[in-house]
Amino acid sequence: MPEFHAATALLPTGWAAQVRIAADAAGTITAVTPDQPAGALPRLSGVVLPGVPNLHSHAFQRAMAGATERRGAGGQDSFWTWRETMYRFLDRLGPEEAEAIAAQLQVELLEWGFTSLAEFHYLHHQPDGTPYAEPAEMVLRNLAAARRTGMGLTLLPVLYRHGGIFGQPPAPGQRRFLNELDGWQRILAACRAATAGDPHSATGMAPHSLRAVTPEMLRAVAAEPGPLHIHIAEQPREVAECLAATGARPVQWLLANLPVDARWCLVHATHMTAEEATALARSGAIAGLCPSTEASLGDGFFPLAEYLAAGGGFGVGTDSHVGISARDELRLLETGQRLLRQARAIAASEALPNPGRFLLEAALAGGAAAMGRPVGAIAPGLRCDLIELDPDHPTLIGLDGDALLDGWVFSGQHNPIRTVIAGGRRVVEAGRHLAREQVFGEYRRAMRRLLE
- Write down the catalytic residue from 299, 319, 385, 406: 319
Distances (CA, A) of 407 to 356, 387, 399, 400: 8, 16, 8, 9
**Backbone CA torsion sign across 83, 89, 93, 97:** negative
CB 333 within 8 A of CB 228: no
> Taking the CB of residue 74, how many other CB atoms lie within 10 A of it?
7
- Rounded distance, CA 195 to CA 192, Å? 5
- Rounded distance, CA 95 to CA 137, Å? 7
Q: What are residue 88's phi and psi, to 5 degrees?
A: -65, -35
Q: Determine the angle formed by the axes of helices 95-111 and 436-451, rounding to 10 degrees.
A: 140
3-state secondary structure of 113: coil
DSSP for residue 97: H
- Write down the catalytic residue from 268, 271, 321, 433: 268
DSSP for residue 130: P
Judge whether 392 counts as a catalytic residue.
no
Judge whether 319 counts as a catalytic residue.
yes
344-367 exposure pattern, b = at least 16 Cβ within 10 A, e = fewer: eebbbeeebebbbbbbbbbbbbbb
**Backbone CA torsion sign across 42, 45, 46, 48:** positive
> Taking the CB of residue 172, how many other CB atoms lie within 10 A of it?
8
146: enclosing H helix or E strand: helix 137-149
Q: Which residues contact 403 (CB under 8 A, 6 or more apart)?
A: 354
Strands 386-389 and 43-50, how do they pair?
antiparallel
Indicate which residues carry an active-site annotation.
268, 319
